[in-house]
Amino acid sequence: MIVTKLNTGRPQDFRDSQHLESVIRNRYRALLPAATLDEVRQMFSRFLDWEVCQMALGNSNSEVRAYALECLREMAREGDPFSQSLLDDRRIPYSPA
């Protein structure tokens, strides 16, 4: 459903997409600390951004952390400044609402 709300230019769709992203992030925040690599791969295939990767970096499984870093590197190569900031161990110039 979130895909239908992206880049429409309608204010309500923007608010809806923000809400849906926050619901997903909250769910992932609960699941990622103990998720297996296969579970993380499935989750990331559905929704992925720098915040989700940051959550996965807290997982005790080194393979999960390595996968999250791999995803951050890919997003940074594609120009995501937040992913690059995490990789550079810099403060994120963003504060979630």
- Check residues 70 and 18 and name the one with the higher pLDDT: 70
Reported in sequence order, the residue ranges of 1-97 that DSSP labels E, i.e. its strands, are: none
Give residue 96's pLDDT band: very low, low, confident or very high (50, 70, 90): low
20 inside domain: yes
Helix extents (H) in the chain: 2-5, 11-31, 37-46, 50-56, 62-77, 81-87
Per the domain annotation, does 56 fall within a domain?
A: yes
Is the model's pTM score more than 0.75?
yes
* pLDDT of amino acid 97: 43
Q: Provide the number of structural domains found in the chain.
A: 1
- Is 63 part of any domain? yes
In a domain, 95, yes or no: no
Tens of pLDDT, residue by residue over 27-81, are: 999 999 999 999 999 999 999 999 999 999 999 999 999 999 999 999 999 999 9
- Domain extent at residue 21: 2-87
